[in-house]
Amino acid sequence: MTTPNSLLDVISRHWGFSSLRPMQEAAIQAVLDHRDSLLVLPTGGGKSLCYQAPAVLKQATTVVISPLIALMKDQVDSLRSNGIPAVQLNSALPQVEIREAEQAILRNEVRLVFASPERMATAGFRALLRQMDVRTFAIDEAHCISHWGHDFRPEYRQLNQLKELFPQASVHAFTATATEQVRADIIEQLGLRAPEVLVGDFDRPNLSYSILPRQSLPVQVMECVQRHKGEAGIIYCIRKKDVDAIAGMLQKSGISALPYHAGLDPQTRKSAQDAFIQESCDVIVATVAFGMGIDRSNIRYVLHTGLPKSIEHYQQETGRAGRDGLEAECVLLFSMADVMTWRSIMEKSVDEANVPVDPEFTRAALRHLSDMERYCRPVVCRHKALVEYFGQRYPHENCGACDLCLGMAEPVAEGNLIAKKILSCVFRVQERFGMNHVIDVLRGSDTASVRQWGHENLTTYGLLKEHAKSELRDWILQLLSFEALRQASNDRPVLKLTPFGWEIMKDQKTVTLLKTPGADSGTARPARMDTSSWEGVDRPLFDVLKELRKTLATERGVPPYIVFSDATLRDLARFRPSTPERMHTLYGVGEAKLKDFGRAFIDAIAAHCGTQGLTQDVVDTRPPITPPVAPPKISTNSVQAMDLFRSGANLAEVMRQTGRARSTTVQYLCDWITVDRPKSISRWVSEATYERIAVAAKEQGLTHLKPIFSALNEEVPYDAIRIVVTHLVLQSLPAAAN
Ligand code: ADP
Ligand code: ZN
């Protein structure tokens, strides 16, 4: 029998994590129960742990199908660094290595086998797996099986035989692609039986989004790169020539940047990618060709210099930032010109090879483009818009991490009046002209078209001449998205008034127009970044440790982020442990890594602290991560659970009655403790255990559970610690004002 506690112990020992993220527990349970499953989580959501941890816990061989050799190698390196035996099998490996790997599998020494779909199709490999009675298959990047996805790979199609070939095995699919159609297709293609379908939260709260008008590209690019000096970033461009120009400009300014696009030879591309992964290059300037297979976790910014052609692309490309969970910035430089460019590409009736394009395909592409364009208008919180696009509800009023919520887009003074002027101009040109012409009339431009139609004589001519073209365009876009205007297309899109537009004109309704962020300054102002994750971090020490990480990584031939993530480095430079025991309490420090790298880091920290006169073994004084600041979310289940706890029911009973997993039930208990503030919780945690936890918490602080867990020799289950810490935190607060 496996209990959630032993799962957490495995995760803490090998990965150095102290809790599971949302959806991970249920996904892991499905693997443990041998129930087919599909897990949809955004990039960086933590999908890999869901098939890795069960393999370790069950001590059983799991086969992972992965589309790219780079991805496989990364995962194998990462698992080995955590003390978990893993191998990869693909065509890039020499025969001897393949044979060695197969021998190791036969000796039942390997927990995770990464294989390409082509390998999976070979009779020899299948026979080997049958001999080993492999019962668990994980399909990574499962959307590759669907031609509805953005990354279809024909070789994935062969996986549809898996269930027939291994009828005893459970198959678990993982993807970050959220559309219903792709999801259904994955289930059908793989022949999953009554699968557990788990769809996680698509929001990435550590990413800040901002969209700025593209004004002076070189200046805006430089500004963003300078803001992130020494940090990793990806700059996406639509065209190869822009890639070359921007990479060249950055290199001239002494920034370690490299270009990447399909026009470069494979060797150059590979060495750029390697340099980026090995951290000898900070910035990659690329077309969308770059990214798949890039697992570097400390990418601190993604800058789009051009418009992605769909929200899916935008989500995927920005998703590469901040995989380590630390703050990262996504900036998009918007220009209507890109919309036009994409549109003309998409509207071509034949493709590059002169093959006719399916009109259905063109329509879908144009729809995606117009969704993306709408997203760029300063109307709805960026986090909210993204999450809702993927069919989820966004629960917050203000995300605190986008240009709009941070109030960088202020209301325009006299916005309603401006709106009325625009609308009336549309009316005066008899709703027969497109955006550019309306803008020309409003600005009083002397163009051939204006003269041809005699529009210089209109009352609205020059009515908004003090405003820039880009501002007017933006406001018209806003009026379109408020549906005060609509675009009817004849040969070219023509602006027309809607009933709502008429109401504004007649003063029955009003609208607020927003200033384009950065419009005044003329340069890019980013969404303000949350820098709290730097709190208490000694930056010079962080840099020292970063160098050490690079050296150790090079010695071992693995990427630096496999040694430790940035989050761990910051913890090391913040708490500055002097002993392995202390170091073991930090995020991401499992047993294998402690053994492997502990000494080197502890020595480096001691040396730096010695010369700089810094204290070591700093106690965590940051406010608790789970403070009862916000009232807990109340759902029907949690109401029922709280009632049960109130009447003294124990955890098992509540689990049974609500049908919830243990961790959720523990969360309900903590919610109830927060709401009701019971004096004693001895019904759920014995007084002796409570006392032990309280003593350890006094020393280790109430911020993180892992140090308490370690201080108690890993003998007390996490759940108990979580419950007691919740209770302790509340006691340290003043009584609730009802
Ligand atoms: P995905 O495959 O969904 O893109 P990964 O599996 O690469 O995401 O995980 C993203 C990051 O989150 C990794 O750095 C991983 O170590 C970290 N991570 C995963 N699960 C947890 C957890 N339970 N606690 C802390 N960090 C985690
Ligand atoms: Zn927002």
Span 578-591, pLDDT tens digits: 999 999 989 999 99
Query: What pLDDT does 737 receive?
Result: 36
Higher pLDDT, 105 or 290: 105
**Averaged pLDDT, 626-641:** 55
Indicate the DSSP class of residue 482.
Answer: T
SS3 breakdown of the chain: % helix, strand, coil, rounded to 5?
A: 50, 10, 40
Query: What pLDDT does 142 receive?
Result: 94
* Atom of ligand 1 at shortest range from CA of 297: 14
Cα 244 off chain centre by = 28
* Atom of ligand 1 at shortest range from CA of 176: 3
- Of 120-134, 278-292, 504-518, 620-634, highest mean pLDDT: 120-134
- Read off φ and ψ for residue 212, nearest 5 degrees: -120, 150
**Averaged pLDDT, 362-370:** 85
Residue-wise pLDDT for 42-95, tens only, equals: 888 899 999 999 999 999 999 999 988 878 888 999 999 999 999 999 888 899
- Residue 113 reports pLDDT greater than 70: yes
Query: What pLDDT does 4 receive?
Result: 46
* Atom of ligand 1 at shortest range from CA of 324: 14
User: Do 7-199 and 207-341+357-389 have matching folds?
Assistant: yes
SS3 state at 142: helix
* Atom of ligand 1 at shortest range from CA of 42: 3
**Averaged pLDDT, 220-231:** 93
Question: Nearest-CA neighbor of 191 among 161, 165, 149, 168?
Answer: 161
**Averaged pLDDT, 196-217:** 89
Q: Give the residue, by CA position, lying nearest to ligand 1 atom 10.
A: 44
Q: Give the residue, by CA position, lying nearest to ligand 1 atom 12.
A: 46
Query: What pLDDT does 612 receive?
Result: 92
Which listed ligand is nearest to 200 at the C-alpha? Answer: 1
- Residue 519 reports pLDDT greater than 60: no
Q: Given the structure tokens 């208990």, which residue do they identify?
A: 669
Q: Measured in angstroms, how far is the CA atom of residue 297 from the centroid of ligand 1?
A: 9
Query: What pLDDT does 652 receive?
Result: 84
pLDDT band at 149, cuts 50/70/90?
Answer: low
Residue-wise pLDDT for 406-438, tens only, equals: 876 667 888 899 999 999 999 999 999 999 999
Which listed ligand is nearest to 64 at the C-alpha? Answer: 1
Assigned CATH for 410-515: 1.10.10.10
Domain 207-341+357-389 has CATH 3.40.50.300: yes
Cα angle vertex 13, ends 51, 621, to 5°?
Answer: 115
Q: What percent of the chain has pLDDT over 90?
A: 54
- Residue 529 reports pLDDT greater than 90: no
Pairwise CA distance, residues 111 & 679, whole Å? 46
* Atom of ligand 1 at shortest range from CA of 20: 23
Q: Give the residue, by CA position, lying nearest to ligand 1 atom 22.
A: 20
- Residue 190 reports pLDDT greater than 90: yes
Q: Measured in angstroms, how far is the CA atom of residue 353 from the centroid of ligand 2?
A: 42
Q: Measured in angstroms, how far is the CA atom of residue 210 from the centroid of ligand 2?
A: 9
Q: Ligand 1 pocket check: which of 18, 38, 49 to mutate, most ligand atoms within 8 Å of Cβ?
A: 49
Q: Given the structure tokens 């395909």, which residue do they identify?
A: 361
Q: Measured in angstroms, how far is the CA atom of residue 44 from the centroid of ligand 1?
A: 6
Q: Measured in angstroms, how far is the CA atom of residue 604 from the centroid of ligand 2?
A: 41
Q: Tell which CATH classification among 3.40.50.300, 3.40.50.2020, 3.90.1010.10, 3.30.300.130 matches the domain 7-199.
A: 3.40.50.300
Pairwise CA distance, residues 543 & 373, whole Å? 40
Residue-wise pLDDT for 590-633, tens only, equals: 999 999 999 999 999 999 999 999 999 998 776 554 433 333 44
**Averaged pLDDT, 674-693:** 89
Which listed ligand is nearest to 49 at the C-alpha? Answer: 1
Residue-wise pLDDT for 265-320, tens only, equals: 989 998 999 999 999 999 999 998 777 667 789 999 999 999 999 898 899 899 99
Q: Give the residue, by CA position, lying nearest to ligand 1 atom 17.
A: 46
Domain residue spans of the chain: 7-199, 207-341+357-389, 410-515, 532-612, 636-737
Residue-wise pLDDT for 532-591, tens only, equals: 678 889 999 999 999 999 999 999 888 899 999 999 999 999 999 999 999 998 999 999
Query: What pLDDT does 532 receive?
Result: 67
The β-bridge partners of 198 are 39
Query: What pLDDT does 70 receive?
Result: 77
Query: What pLDDT does 410 receive?
Result: 67
**Averaged pLDDT, 707-730:** 85
Q: Ligand 1 pocket check: which of 72, 84, 323, 564 to mutate, most ligand atoms within 8 Å of Cβ?
A: 323
Q: Give the residue, by CA position, lying nearest to ligand 1 atom 21.
A: 46
Q: Measured in angstroms, how far is the CA atom of residue 25 from the centroid of ligand 2?
A: 29
Which listed ligand is nearest to 207 at the C-alpha? Answer: 2
**Averaged pLDDT, 105-123:** 95
Query: What pLDDT does 374 receive?
Result: 84
Higher pLDDT, 253 or 215: 253
pLDDT band at 1, cuts 50/70/90?
Answer: very low
Query: What pLDDT does 222 receive?
Result: 95
Query: What pLDDT does 603 receive?
Result: 97
Query: What pLDDT does 436 receive?
Result: 92
Residue-wise pLDDT for 2-41, tens only, equals: 454 589 889 999 999 888 888 999 999 999 999 999 999 9
Length of the chain, in residues: 738
Q: Ligand 1 pocket check: which of 9, 17, 114 to mutate, most ligand atoms within 8 Å of Cβ?
A: 17
CATH architecture of the domain with residue range 532-612? Orthogonal Bundle (1.10)
- Residue 212 reports pLDDT greater than 90: no
Q: Measured in angstroms, how far is the CA atom of residue 370 from the centroid of ligand 2?
A: 21
Residues near ligand 1 (Cβ within 6 A)? 17, 19-21, 24, 41, 43-49, 297, 323-324, 565
Q: Average pLDDT over the chain, rounded to whole?
A: 87
Q: Ligand 1 pocket check: which of 15, 292, 568 to mutate, most ligand atoms within 8 Å of Cβ?
A: 15
Q: What percent of the chain has pLDDT over 70?
A: 92
Of 160-164, 396-400, 450-454, the least confident: 396-400
Checking 605-608 for CB contacts under 8 A at 24+ apart, the result is: 605/541, 605/545, 605/572, 605/573, 605/576, 605/577, 605/578, 606/578, 608/538, 608/540, 608/541, 608/544
